[in-house]
Structure 1
Amino acid sequence: MRIGKNAETLRKELSGKDPKFKLGDATAQLISELCVAEQSPNCHAYVNAVAAAVGGFVPLEACDGEPGPGSLMASTVGLVTGASQVLADVTAARADGKISDNERRLIERHATGVIRDMQALLREVKRENESTKRGRAK
C-alpha cells in the first residue's frame, strides 16, 4: 500500500471510532496528496479544512469530478446562501451568550462550505474571463 499502513489499521484510523487509532497529520497529508494526484472528487477537502481551522483561505483549481455550479450567477448565489447560513448559525449560537462545541463545529462545517463556494466562484470568474479574452482575440 502506498501509504505504508495495512488496510485494517488505516480503516480504523479513518473511522475515528477507536481512540487507540488516530489518523496523524502526516498520513492525512499523504492521503490528500494521493487524492489530488488522482484528481478524485473533493480532493482538496483536507487542505480546505486545515486552512479554515486557522482562519485561512487557499484558492485552488478544481479537481476532475468536483461538481461545479456551471455559471457565475450560480456560484454567486451559492456563496451568498452559504455565507447567510454561517451568519444565521453564529447568531443562533450566541443567543444564550456562549458558543458550545457542537455549535462551533456546525459553524466551522458551514464556513468550510462557504470557502468551497468561494473557490467555485473564483473558478467561474476565471473561466468567464478566459472566454472573454478568447472572444476578443477573434
Structure 2
Amino acid sequence: MNSNDALRLMVAYYPGGREAMAVRLGITDELLRKELAGGPGHKMGVTRAEQVSEYCIEAKGEHCYAYVNSLNARSGRLLELPVRDDMTTPREIRTGMAGLLEKTSATIMALTSALADDNINDNERRDIERKLSDLFAVGQGILRGTHEINESRKPAHLRAAA
C-alpha cells in the first residue's frame, strides 16, 4: 500500500469520515477529496499528511497506522501496532497462530502467482502488500498477546522489577 492509499483508508475510517477530517484540518471537504485523490494540482503535502496521521492515531480508529506503516514498509521496517484485544488468552494465541499460518500461505500463493511471469504488476503488488500487512498485524498481535500472558502470570514483585 502506498502512502496515498494509506491516507485515503485512514480518512475513510476516521470518526465522521472525510468531512470531519476536513473540518479538523480547517479546509473544505472538496479540497481534501482532491488532495487524497492525488490529482494534478492537488497533491497533499507532508505537513498535512502528518496532521491526518496524527489525528487518526489520536482517534485510535481502524487503520490509524496505515500511513506510518506505508512509509516504514518502503524502507523495509515495521511499526509496532497497538495492542490487540483479541489475543489475551492461550486459546486466542493458538487461534492467532492458525490465522498467521493461513495468512502466510495466502501471501506465498499471491507472490508465487505474481512471479510466474517474472514480473509483478500494480494490482499484484497491491495485493501482496495488503496480504503482508495483514500477516504482520496478526504476528504483532501474537507477540503482544504472548507478552501480556507472560506478564500477567508473574508475581507482582517480579513485574515491578522489570
2:142 is the alignment partner of 1:121: yes
Q: Give how far 1:90 is off.
A: 1.0
Structure 2 CA distance, aligned partners of 1:72 and 1:92? Answer: 30
Are the equivalent residues in 2 in contact too, given 1:48–1:58 (CA < 8 A)? yes
Secondary structure of 2:64's counterpart equals coil
Cα 1:5–1:108 change in 2 (3 A) is same
The code of the aligned residue for 2:33 comes to R
Matches within 5 A, 1:69-80: 69=87, 71-80=92-101
Displacement over 3 Å in runs of 4+: 17-20, 66-70, 134-137
2:111 equivalent in structure 1? 90
2:132 equivalent in structure 1? 111
Cα 1:115–1:26 change in 2 (3 A) is farther
Are the equivalent residues in 1 in contact too, given 2:69–2:78 (CA < 8 A)? yes
Once structures 1 and 2 are overlaid, which stretch shifts more, 127-136 or 117-126? 127-136
Cα 1:107–1:127 change in 2 (3 A) is same
Question: CA RMSD, aligned part only?
Answer: 2.5
Q: Give how far 1:58 is off.
A: 1.6
Secondary structure of 1:124's counterpart equals helix
Structure 2 CA distance, aligned partners of 1:82 and 1:75? Answer: 10
In the superposition, the TM-score normalised over structure 2's length comes to: 0.68
Higher helix share: 2
Are the equivalent residues in 2 in contact too, given 1:75–1:124 (CA < 8 A)? no
Cα 1:89–1:136 change in 2 (3 A) is farther
Q: Give how far 1:59 is off.
A: 1.5
Q: Work out the number of aligned pairs and report it.
A: 133
1:39 equivalent in structure 2? 60
Are the equivalent residues in 2 in contact too, given 1:86–1:111 (CA < 8 A)? yes
Q: Give how far 1:134 is off.
A: 5.0
Structure 1 CA distance, aligned partners of 2:95 and 2:49? Answer: 32
Q: 1:5-29: per-residue Cα shift (whole Å, max 9, x none)?
A: 3222112222x17433233333222
Secondary structure of 2:71's counterpart equals helix
Q: Give how far 1:92 is off.
A: 0.4
Structure 2 CA distance, aligned partners of 1:116 and 1:72? Answer: 13
Secondary structure of 1:76's counterpart equals helix
Q: Percent identity?
A: 35
Are the equivalent residues in 1 in contact too, given 2:53–2:65 (CA < 8 A)? yes
Give the one of 25, 29, 34 matched to 1:12. 34
Cα 1:134–1:46 change in 2 (3 A) is farther
Consecutive unaligned residues in structure 1, runs of 5 or more: none
